[in-house]
């Protein structure tokens, strides 16, 4: 079975600085999808960024980018120019098929200091 | 936002009572999922459905059952609630595209 590990229960960053959240996963498959979800205090699950395993290029969405290392099974999220609104729980997730049957990590709480 | 509604949003129930949570979608998506969220575990899949009357177990299915008699509705039932089922429950939908999540139901079993 696939597993996803987030080794940082909590992280802090100064406003306008850059922070990187770590995620590793375990799978024997060669094709899969990886996601980062944001969960603010409202509890809503918000998709931040996604990566298809067959793509070598790292995904980027505005201030959010990933460092996808397929051989190392590592998928980290970099948040640049951190804003107060970035404070939330962040989940890394894996899926064999896009959007289906997600396997989540335990989450990382991100605190942003002003 | 995707049309997905969970009800109720909050519920407190007593140990041993049956509880049903409802997920309703207006997107006509094929796949529907129930997850539970607990500290230290993230979200874990309870059951999922890939069509009307087609359901299957997820990682943490013990103590739960589901039914899907219509495309738009996916029900999660706790036959006899236990304190270990105190959690936040999320419904999600997808059609082989991005998964969309409901707002969650906070269930407390006392």
Q: Which residue has the higher pLDDT, A98 or B92?
A: B92
**Residue A99: predicted pLDDT:** 63
Judge: B104–A43 Cβ closer than 8 Å, yes or no.
yes
The residues of B whose Cβ lies within 8 A of any Cβ of A are: 31, 33, 35, 40-45, 48, 58-59, 88, 90, 92, 94-99, 101, 103-104
**Residue B2: predicted pLDDT:** 67
pLDDT tens-digit readout, B22-58: 999 999 999 999 999 999 999 999 999 999 999 999 9
pLDDT tens-digit readout, A54-98: 998 999 999 999 999 999 999 999 999 999 999 999 999 999 986
Q: Which residue out of B42, B91, B106 would a mutagenesis test of the A interface target, given it has the greatest number of A Cβ atoms within 10 Å? A: B42
**Residue A100: predicted pLDDT:** 84
Residues 6+ apart with CB under 8 A from A30: A53
Q: What is the mean pLDDT of residues B72-93?
A: 97
3-class secondary structure per residue, chain B: CCCEEEECCEEEECCCCCEEEEEEECCCCCEEEEEEEECCCEEEEEEEEEECCEEEECCCCCCEEEEEEECCEEEEEECCCCHHHCEEEEEEEECCCCCEECCCEEEEEC
A28: which DSSP letter? Answer: S
Task: Compute, in degrees rounded to 10, the torsion defined by CA atoms A2, A31, B92, B85.
Answer: 0
Residue B1 has pLDDT above 60, yes or no: no
Distance CA A45, CA A90 (A): 9
**Where do the DSSP E strands lie in chain A?**
3-5, 10-14, 19-21, 24-26, 33-39, 46-52, 60-61, 64-69, 74-79, 88-95, 103-104, 108-113
Distance CA B47, CA B62 (A): 10
């Amino acid at each position: 079975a696939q597993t996803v590990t987030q080794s940082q229960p909590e992280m802090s960053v100064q406003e306008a600085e850059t922070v990187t959240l770590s995620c590793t996963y375990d799978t024997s498959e060669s094709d899969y999808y990886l996601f980062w979800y944001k969960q603010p205090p409202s509890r809503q699950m918000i998709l931040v960024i996604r990566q298809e395993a067959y793509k070598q290029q790292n995904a980027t969405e505005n201030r959010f980018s990933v460092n996808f290392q397929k051989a190392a099974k590592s998928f980290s999220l970099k948040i640049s120019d951190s804003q107060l609104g970035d404070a939330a729980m962040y989940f890394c997730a894996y899926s064999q098929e896009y959007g289906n049957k997600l396997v989540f990590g335990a989450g990382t709480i991100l605190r942003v200091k002003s | 936002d995707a049309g997905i509604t969970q009800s109720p949003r909050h519920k407190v129930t007593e140990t041993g009572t049956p509880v049903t949570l409802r997920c309703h979608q207006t997107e006509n998506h094929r796949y529907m999922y129930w997850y539970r969220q607990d500290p230290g575990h993230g979200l874990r899949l309870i059951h999922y459905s890939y069509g009307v009357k087609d359901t299957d177990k997820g990682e943490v299915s013990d103590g739960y059952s589901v039914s899907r008699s219509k495309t738009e509705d996916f029900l999660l039932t706790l036959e006899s609630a236990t304190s270990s089922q105190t959690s936040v429950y999320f419904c999600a939908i997808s059609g082989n595209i991005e998964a969309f999540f409901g707002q969650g139901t906070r269930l407390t079993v006392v």
